[in-house]
Amino acid sequence: MKVFVVTKKMLGSFSVIALCLVLFFGINYRNTLNFIAAATEKRQIPIYNVDVGETKKVAISFDAAWGNEDTQMLIDILGKYNVKATFFVVGEWVDKYPESVKALADAGHDIQNHSSTHAHLPQLSRDQIAKEITDCSDKIEAVTGKKSNLIRPPYGDYSNSVLETAKEVGHYVIQWDVDSLDWKDPPSSDIVKRVTGKVKPGSIVLFHNAAKNTPAALPGVIEALQADGYEFVLINDLIYKDNYYIDHAGMQILNSESENKAG
């Protein structure tokens, strides 16, 4: 009969191997749990458009973060067609161009929040996200007398933390379902074709101030959509303020037939 003798050296080796196995499986077990938790966390979605049935309502919006060369042109064009728009402004833009912000507000346009510094909000802590939103809102109020209640995250970049924090500080998070791509400086005719071809009832359209060809494209967009029976409304008048849910594609849908709009 063979006798297997375990020496102190072998015992030490076994102990090291056992410890490595424990650490390996322990770490991987924790990683697996973390992966499962992350995978099962429900991804929250902001508002991209609104379910308004067959009612032909559309909201146009502008992101204002850089120059203001065309601001007065936009005001004049929108005024000519009696169209009101929502302008998402960066706090630093408000600091630099308070006269433009006031002119927009005086013309009846809705001035809303695009963060204070145009930061990538998901990369910030919740406190930092809140500060980005509230600082911008305070700057808007200082010029217009009215705080913001809508936030469009810079770059369209969001996370659950961004949505939850925005809600905590009294803001709805707004994206878009029709992108004019005007920041790429396509010909104005291409902008008109793209926007009018994609708009549907309840759409939110994205433009930018200081985009080269937007002023030239805007009349064509407005005229085509008005001819098709569309009414232009502010985002605040398009979205539901309570008793709603947002589907997987970002459409905001009313939970019942009751009216839940708020000004």
Q: Catalytic residue, from 109, 114, 171, 208: name it.
A: 208
Map tokens 């400086």 to a residue: 185
Q: Which fold has domain 49-254?
A: TIM Barrel (3.20.20)
Identify the pLDDT of residue 24.
Answer: 54
Of 108, 37, 101, 47, nearest in space to 238 by CA: 47
63 is catalytic: yes
Identify the pLDDT of residue 230.
Answer: 99
Average pLDDT, the chain: 89
Helical residues (DSSP H) of the chain, grouped into ranges: 8-40, 71-80, 91-96, 98-106, 126-144, 160-168, 188-198, 214-227, 235-238
Longest dimension (CA), the chain: 105
Burial class (CB in 10 A: 0-12, 13-18, 19+), 15: exposed
C-alpha pair distances (Å), 23 with each of 12, 14, 27, 33, 161:
17, 14, 6, 15, 32
Identify the pLDDT of residue 227.
Answer: 99
Of 101, 80, 36, 23, nearest in space to 215 by CA: 80
State which residues of the chain have pLDDT below 70: 1-41, 257-263
Q: Catalytic residue, from 63, 70, 177, 182: name it.
A: 63
Side chain identity, residue 239: I
Global pTM reads 0.83
Identify the pLDDT of residue 256.
Answer: 79
Q: 191 forms bridges with which residues in the sheet?
A: none
Identify the pLDDT of residue 91.
Answer: 99
